[in-house]
Structure 1
Amino acid sequence: MTGPDAKAAGAFRTIGEVAAATGLPQHVLRYWETRFPQLRPLTRAGNRRYYRPDDVALVERIDRLLNHDGYTVKGVQKLLASEGKRAATPSVPSLRAVRTMLQQALDYDSAV
C-alpha cells in the first residue's frame, strides 16, 4: 500500500477503480461482462460490482488481447472457452497414486 487510500493487493475493487486502473471506460467493462462469461464480478445491492483480483487480471488480459494483440471479441471468447475446458478437467492423480507417493516418502524418511 502506497497511500492512505490504497487498498491491499487482495482487496475487491469497484468498477470505477478498475476503470481508472486499466484506462477502460466503465461501459466497456459492463459490455465485456455480457460477452465473456468468465468475467463475473460480485454484485451487491444496487447492482454494485466488486471485482476480485482474478477478475482484474482477466480484464487486463482481455484488454491486452483485444486492444494490443489484435484479437476479435469472438477470438477471445474462443480462447477463453478453450482454456476453461482444459482447466475444468485437471490432471489429478488417483488416490492410489497419492497413497503410493506418500508411502514412498515415509519409506525414504524412515531410511534416512
Structure 2
Amino acid sequence: MTQFNDGKDVGALRTIGEVGEALGIKAHVLRYWEQQFPMLKPLKRSGGRRYYRPEDVSLLETIDRLVNREGYTLKGAKAAIRAGKADAGAVPSPSAAPAAPSAAAQHDGPSVEDVVPQLKAIRARLEAILEA
C-alpha cells in the first residue's frame, strides 16, 4: 500500500491531487479510470470534489499495476478485478511459471512478438530521418 507523507492518519480521506502525487498518476487518468471501473467510487462532496478512501487507493494501485506493469488492457484489468484474480499482493514471483491468461484478460490484436520487429523498423526509419 502507498505510504503518504502528509501527516494524515492512515485511514484519512485523500484528495485526487494527493492520490495522484503519491501514485504518480495524473488526475485526468484517475478521473478516466473512475468511468472505466464502476467499482471505483470515491466520495464526492459539493462542487464535485473527490475524496478517496484507503480502499479506493488500494484499488487504484491494483489498476495501475495491472495496466501499467503487467500489460492488461482496461477491459482485461476490469475482468481480472471482478473475477478476484487481481489481489493487491498477487504480483507473481519471477521464478514462477507464467499462467495462461484467461480469455477475459487476453489482449486484442497482435502479440508483442509480432509488433517488435515492426517497431524496430519504424525506429530505424526515424533515426535515418533524423540523421538526414
Confirm or deny a common fold (TM above 0.5). Answer: yes
Q: How many pairs were matched up?
A: 83
Pairing 1:1-112 to 2, within 5 Å after superposition: 5-83=6-84
Give per-residue Cα distances to partners, 1:31-63, cap 9 Å, x unaligned.
000000111000000000000000001101100
Quote the Cα distance in structure 2 between the aligned partners of 1:27 and 1:77: 19
Q: Whose helix proportion is higher, 1 or 2?
A: 1
Secondary structure at 2:20 match in 1: helix
Quote the Cα distance in structure 1 between the aligned partners of 2:65 and 2:78: 14
Deviation at 1:30, TM superposition (A): 0.1
Give per-residue Cα distances to partners, 1:69-108, cap 9 Å, x unaligned.
111101011112223xxxxxxxxxxxxxxxxxxxxxxxxx
Quote the Cα distance in structure 2 between the aligned partners of 1:50 and 1:38: 15
Structure 2 alignment gaps of length 5 or more: 85-132
When normalised by structure 1's length, the TM-score is: 0.69
Q: Which runs of 4+ in 1 moved over 4 A?
A: none
Tell me the C-alpha RMSD between the 2 structures: 2.1
When normalised by structure 2's length, the TM-score is: 0.59
Percentage of pairs with the same residue: 57
Secondary structure at 1:57 match in 2: helix
Quote the Cα distance in structure 2 between the aligned partners of 1:61 and 1:9: 18
Give the structure with higher Rg (CA): 1
Secondary structure at 1:58 match in 2: helix
Structure 1 alignment gaps of length 5 or more: 84-112
Quote the Cα distance in structure 2 between the aligned partners of 1:35 and 1:29: 10
